[in-house]
Amino acid sequence: MKFLALFLFIFSSCTKKVDFDTHGVTPSLKSVRWEISDINEGTWAVGSTWRDVVSKNLTVVLKIPEIKSSDLDEIEKNYSVDSWLVKVIHKTQLGQRQHIATMIAPFRSKLKGGFSANQTRSIAFSLTYAAWAMSERFRKFQCPAFSHRARLKEFSVESSDQLMEFSLSSIGKFHETYLINELVPPKLIIAQSMVGEFYLEAALFSTKNKTLYSSFQQLPTYVHVKSEKQVNVSGCEGVQQEYQR
């Protein structure tokens, strides 16, 4: 047990934290490492006998870079910066770029009544087919709405070891809406096909001032959905009207 505890201490102490550099003309966060730690497909039983399986979503977990507590205190006190903003961009198989959503990842975990001292370790979001996302009623259809018959076939996380740098300087107000990650990952609705690449872009943000403190940069990690397959859903061949359980 002593050896295990010593190993865990050494391992955690070797974990690379973000370097907060204040010696240059503009303070910056250096050696910023981003990674997607997990992706998981959610499935949905449909058809006249509820034995056919289609995909309902793909849940993605993004690890948040770790910053020293003392550096966090200084960044929040002197610059009012307390969060990351993360954009999700879908590059479709036709080459179109679609902005799906922007989410906030506060430096510290948000609790009822304020922020805790604990850093946010990760955020999660669910890339969700519209047929599942719209309502509980839609989920009860034997024949999925919008002729949804897709099952994710090949998908993976692509990434590199690139470390990033974010200069800390006010660049203007951010007027767009953003999603807050709570206990349940937010549903990011994908109308028809998920095939393509889902890129992530991050920037520093002050919730107090509603101001960006860096430009958005594309992260060196993304989700690649290579292919889907079409499922023959029993009892739904040529069906137009949807039926509930």
Question: pLDDT tens for residues 81-136?
Answer: 999 999 999 999 888 899 999 999 999 986 655 556 688 999 999 999 999 988 88
Q: What is the pLDDT of residue 239?
A: 56
**pTM higher than the cut 0.75:** yes
- Rounded distance between C-alpha atoms, residue 72 and residue 107, angstroms: 8
| Beta strands at 217-218 and 211-212: parallel, antiparallel or unpaired | unpaired
Q: Which residues are paired to 128 by β-bridges?
A: 57, 189
What does the pLDDT average to over 233-240?
76
Please give the pLDDT value at position 139. Answer: 85
* Averaged pLDDT of the chain: 87
**13: confidence class by pLDDT, cuts 50, 70, 90:** very low
Element (H, E) at 76: helix 69-79
pLDDT at 192: 85
Q: Which residues of 148-187 are buried (b: 16+ CB within 10 A; e: fewer)?
A: bbbebeebeeeeeeeebebbbeeeeebeeebbebeeebbb
| pLDDT > 90? residue 140 | no
pLDDT at residue 6 is higher than 60: no
Q: What is the pLDDT of residue 209?
A: 92
Instruction: Report whether 22 contacts 169 (CB < 8 A).
Output: no
C-alpha–C-alpha distance, residues 182 and 125, integer Å: 10
pLDDT at 11: 36
List the structure tokens of 170.
Answer: 């006010």
Select from 42, 89, 57, 83 the least CA-distant residue to 180.
Answer: 83
Rounded CA Rg of the chain: 21
Does residue 80 carry a pLDDT above 50?
A: yes
Count of other CB atoms within 10 angstroms of residue 129: 27
Residue 28 main-chain phi, psi, to 5 deg: -150, 155
Of the chain, the percentage scoring pLDDT greater than 70 comes to 87
198 contacts 190 by C-beta, under 8 angstroms? no
